[in-house]
Structure 1
Amino acid sequence: MTQTGIPFVFMRGGTSRGPYFRREDLPEDRETLAQVLVSAVGSGHALNIDGIGGGAAVTTKVAMLSKAKDNWADIDYFFAQVSVEDGLVDFKPTCGNILSGVGPAAIEMGLLEPDQDVTRIRINAVNTGARIEARIQTPEGRLTYAGETAIAGVPGQAAAVELTFMGVVGTATGAFLPTGALRDSFDGIEVTCMDVAMPMVIARAQDFGLTGYETVQELDANTAFFARMEAIRIAAGEKMGMGDVTRSVTPKFGLLAPASGGGTIAARYFMPWNTHPSMAVTGAQCLASCALTPATVADGLLERPEGSPAQVVLEHPSGTIDVLVDFSTEDGFDLRAAGLVRTARKLADGNVYVPSRIWAGLGS
């Protein structure tokens, strides 16, 4: 045989999509694993023409699932971000949108059984150590994708997937404020470096001469902005203790502006070398935390909600995303949990094939 078949479920999770594998069906060592994922996705071509990727960062994501190794969780969720064109795989971050499909995929794979009308699944995000509780719709003990929940960036309606994130502060850097400051300055631009669910460098759109309401296409075409933003991101990443982030997708970058459509604040999120078409679930938690924290770059851009939990509505290019933030301000800002609602849908299943010269399969 010249190709190796690997079982997978192809899912849309939130506003992302990709293959979901059982971890045991993939090579154990990271180097071979990365080569397998690059081949499966088709990284190395703008259209991912030789793989099942979709030619965008939100469609070259991979989830690898297994039964949890600790007593708290039910499922271990290991994430990989595969680049579209560069043949790179980043195992550092996690993805909240792809996480939306973890519960349904785990049921599809037989890793757990549905429980009554709503199945509660406790998920350990292997990459970051975050803990998430997902509530999946399983009427009469049967998984369903049909429902009446709509999310911005996805057409139609589907069954709700309720996510509650816990233990997400400092998961990548060990600190809420990795630089130790509420604001830093790089190349004359003030930023807030924050690590909540996703390490981020957050700035005001106006400081780049932008409105913060630009479309994805307008931002992606602004090469001067991207060049300046990337230089700032790299410098900030080093100061955040993340080392040389030139080839890493983290930290991510975000821009804030006053809300223009009735939300709490307007935001743009970068992945980081192009603009997210909507909003990342992890990024939404970090941006919402920045918005709620006094003395960050969000000051003056919003009227902060009073009391906890607080509903933060982020305006993004495709609409809005709501983040329910349970926090304390007794000793600075302490995020206890963040809740979001997403949807997911199974798109396909079967085997994805990679050349046997890359990996000959288990037992090879």
Structure 2
Amino acid sequence: MSHPPRRHAPQLKIPAAYMRGGTSKGVFFRLGDLPDAAQVPGAARDALLLRVIGSPDPYGKHTDGMGGATSSTSKVVIISKSSESGHDVDYLYGQVPVDGDFIDWSGNCGNLSSAVGPFAIANGLVDPDRVPRDGICTVRIWQANIGKTIIAHVPITAGEVQETGDFELDGVTFPAAEIALEFLDPADEDDDGGAMFPTGHVVDTLEVAGVGTFRASLVNAGVPMVFLEAGALGYDGTELQPAINDDPAALAKLEAIRAEGAVRMGLITDVSQAAARPLTPKIAFVAPPEGYVSSSGRPVRAADIDLLARAMSMGKLHHAMMGTASVAIAAAAAVPGTLVNAAAGGRARETLCFGHPSGVLRVGAEVKQVDGRWTVTKAVMSRSARVLMEGWVRVPADVLPSAD
């Protein structure tokens, strides 16, 4: 005997865009399109966005959500007219763990930064008088997570964002239009030890209980970073994802070092707090140039790169390189004495090309030293972005306690 179905509230229908930015993907929202309870920080906002992505997912697949079950594809972005003078939009970024019941709002996504300008223009958040019929539209972005300015140079054709083009980015399958990004004053200027170096040193020694002692460059530029020497970990810097991600002992070791680095940088007070802050700091290891075959099967010649870099994101080796980590690599490489600078040959440089698992990336940074303190004034790189789908995301209404 059948029974009538229980009555449930209908799904919420929320305007959104699913966008690729650099080597990442995320769900983009206009702040005003979110339900009232989710327009402010708090449990309601996080619950809604977790459900959008499909986390926490003990199966690790994000089958019932928009997430891609990796750190690069489980992201949310909220855009609004800027509250900061001289800026077009505010950009708030949330990293959603695949199996975690929380969102980490502690940092920025440099890759998705490239999609913010196009989204803002297409959604009328940039003054139409500033959008040329053809040419480049400069969008000034206030990165609300970290309180920094990003300038995006977005190509415009026939009054609309140009998404197609011939710019190739290793880690992205197809070419697209190039978007140049400038990260202004990306270092944290409130650190006691120095703008770029929270401890005041270009190299520190980390004593990690049960793991060992490691030299590290602790850098805050774009995102807090713990840089290690690949050789000290038993690596040569040419590793691809399986070499790290299929090794539970290696992942645990790197996480323990990251946690100790977070304490030394003043981001947490005890290593036990690191699990609740998986987004920052990030940890990476570097090595001098060496030839290898990228994850796509394309050879990378030692002569074509200045150093090798591999970075962890949300506990796994990243398939390419995070944009914020690229900023930190460029800044650290420009400062004599850092492990990154040493891996790149030890000379002063404003631009460099580094090898990552998917290929190569060129970045640049301008640094200066004032009264013995290093700071980075600007970092630059190019990315691309594209709308993959737009319309509405649907979320069960009971995710918000106040929903009818």
Same fold (TM > 0.5): yes
Residues 228-286 of structure 1: CA distance to partner in whole angstroms, max 9, x if unpaired?
A: 11111111211211113222121000100111232111000111400110001110111
Residue identity in the other structure for 1:294: P
Counterpart among 202, 210, 219 of residue 182 in structure 1: 202
- Alpha-carbon spacing, 1:281–1:224, altered in 2? closer, same or farther (3 Å): same
> Which residue of 2 is the match for residue 109 of structure 1?
123
Counterpart among 79, 82, 90 of residue 76 in structure 1: 90
| Separation of aligned partners in 2, 1:300 and 1:19 | 39
| Separation of aligned partners in 2, 1:105 and 1:279 | 22
| Separation of aligned partners in 1, 2:397 and 2:342 | 57
| Separation of aligned partners in 2, 1:154 and 1:209 | 29
Which residues in structure 2 correspond to 1:349-360 (within 5 Å)? 349-359=390-400
Counterpart among 55, 71, 74 of residue 69 in structure 2: 55
- Alpha-carbon spacing, 1:144–1:192, altered in 2? closer, same or farther (3 Å): same
| Separation of aligned partners in 2, 1:110 and 1:125 | 19
| Separation of aligned partners in 2, 1:164 and 1:225 | 34
Residue identity in the other structure for 1:133: I
Residue 96 of structure 1 contacts residue 281 of structure 1 at CA under 8 Å; is this kept in 2?
yes
C-alpha displacement of 1:24: 2.0
Q: Percent identity?
A: 29
Residues 200-251 of structure 1: CA distance to partner in whole angstroms, max 9, x if unpaired?
A: 1110010011111111111111222221111111112112111132221210
Residue 334 of structure 2 contacts residue 365 of structure 2 at CA under 8 Å; is this kept in 1?
no
C-alpha displacement of 1:23: 1.3
Residue identity in the other structure for 1:347: L
Residue 136 of structure 1 contacts residue 162 of structure 1 at CA under 8 Å; is this kept in 2?
yes
Q: TM-score, normalised by structure 1?
A: 0.94
Residue 187 of structure 2 contacts residue 221 of structure 2 at CA under 8 Å; is this kept in 1?
yes
Counterpart among 80, 91, 94 of residue 66 in structure 1: 80
Residue identity in the other structure for 2:168: A
Residue 334 of structure 2 contacts residue 348 of structure 2 at CA under 8 Å; is this kept in 1?
no
Residues 164-204 of structure 1: CA distance to partner in whole angstroms, max 9, x if unpaired?
A: 11021116857411122222222311111110010011100
The question of 1:131 aligning with 2:149 is answered: yes
Residue identity in the other structure for 1:327: V
Residue 173 of structure 1 contacts residue 195 of structure 1 at CA under 8 Å; is this kept in 2?
no
C-alpha displacement of 1:299: 5.2
> Which residue of 2 is the match for residue 235 of structure 1?
260
> Which residue of 2 is the match for residue 341 of structure 1?
382
| Separation of aligned partners in 1, 2:384 and 2:85 | 27
Counterpart among 301, 306, 319 of residue 343 in structure 2: 301
> Which residue of 2 is the match for residue 36 of structure 1?
48
- Alpha-carbon spacing, 1:306–1:181, altered in 2? closer, same or farther (3 Å): closer
Residue identity in the other structure for 1:191: A
C-alpha displacement of 1:89: 0.5
| Separation of aligned partners in 2, 1:355 and 1:86 | 19
Any gaps of 5 or more consecutive residues in structure 2?
1-8, 207-211, 291-301
Residues 53-81 of structure 1: CA distance to partner in whole angstroms, max 9, x if unpaired?
A: 11111000111000001221101000000
The alignment partner of 1:207 has SS state of helix
Structure number with greater Rg is: 2
Q: TM-score, normalised by structure 2?
A: 0.85
C-alpha displacement of 1:332: 4.4
Residue identity in the other structure for 1:15: T
| Separation of aligned partners in 2, 1:95 and 1:85 | 20
Counterpart among 243, 250, 256 of residue 280 in structure 2: 250
Residues 68-126 of structure 1: CA distance to partner in whole angstroms, max 9, x if unpaired?
A: 01221101000000011222210111101011100111122222233232111000000
C-alpha displacement of 1:141: 2.0
- Alpha-carbon spacing, 1:220–1:231, altered in 2? closer, same or farther (3 Å): same
